[in-house]
Amino acid sequence: MRKALSLVAKAAVSGLLLYFSLDLVHFETVRDRLIQIDPRWNVLGLLMLVMQTIALAMRWELILTRCGTPLTLTRSFRYSMIAAFFNQTLPSSVGGDAMRIWLVGKHANWRAAAYSVFLDRVTGVVTLAGLVVVCLPWTLAVVHDPTGRIALLIIGFGCIAAGFVFISLAWKRLHILQHWAATRHLAAVATVAVELLRTPRALVPIFGLSILINILTVLVAWCAAHSVNANVPILYLLYLMLPVVLISIVPISIAGWGVREGAMVAAFTYAGLPQSDGLIISLLFGAIYLALGVGGGVVWIFSSDRTDRTAVSPLPSHD
């Protein structure tokens, strides 16, 4: 019952935010622009997403190794594609993460599987927030509205501060964290994160891949803009798209729909760009991700992972 209510609530949030976003622009303008879409650019955007998924799989593979459960790149890519499908069909991206944990955990160490996915998610969010902060001098030169500037500062520095709080959980003197299972596991995964930070051989490729992943996100938005001849410089998309993606990660809607569109319209408004362009780019951006999710669904249908229990050799547990 609780899950059903959560789904209804998130669907309502997506629906309401999409309605308000459409209400801010001329619907006829959006419709006419979408009719004249050039699908070739969206196909290019989809190829960018496939490349991004490969980069995501490579990063996750490195983190899995650090957690004691190595996985081949082919299998991590397949699991990442399947996760993309569940990200689009379940109420939030947490569904895709849960699927990744299940796919790895049924063959190996469940704890290592959960730690790797959690650490992969934290790495992605913190790197994204770091890029938002690095771009702030240029973003603030584009966004002149005080509200928009304050929002950018809160979003960027807030996520980085949360990352530092997470790392601090590895401090050995915080004995109180050992009293509860949830905090005990958080402290354990934070310890893995600290070990990773102390290992440049693993840290450099992981964060390098994280930066590449975010660059590909911007390129997908750039392809979406070109498909409808939206005159938006790619640097503007870099400055505006990354904060929007950071906001849409918040699991209050279905696959970020509605939240992303509302944030994109607001970002374009603050930057003095046409609101309709922001909405159209966001809708196409989401549609391209949806297409990737469909591809992930095909992978899931034809995958043997639902029954195969010998794909990953479990390593000895270090519990």
Whether residue 170 lies inside any domain: the answer is yes
Whether residue 303 lies inside any domain: the answer is no
- What does pTM read for this prediction? 0.87
Whether residue 229 lies inside any domain: the answer is yes
Whether residue 168 lies inside any domain: the answer is yes
Whether residue 32 lies inside any domain: the answer is no
Using one digit for the tens of pLDDT, what is the confidence trace for 268-290? 988 888 888 899 999 999 999 99
In the chain, the number of structural domains is 1
**In this structure, are residues 35 and 83 in contact, taking their beta carbons and an 8 Å threshold?**
no
Whether residue 10 lies inside any domain: the answer is no
Whether residue 317 lies inside any domain: the answer is no
Closest CA to 157 of 219, 82, 243, 69: 243
Find the mean pLDDT for residues 212-236: 94
Q: Say which residues have a Cβ less than 8 Å from residue 137's Cβ, sequence separation at least 6.
A: none
Using one digit for the tens of pLDDT, what is the confidence trace for 3-56? 666 666 777 777 777 766 766 676 677 777 778 899 999 999 999 999 999 999
Burial letters 164-194, b for 16+ CB under 10 A, else e? eebbebbeeeeeebeeeeeeeebbbbbbbbe
Residue numbers of the domain that contains 143: 37-298
Whether residue 12 lies inside any domain: the answer is no
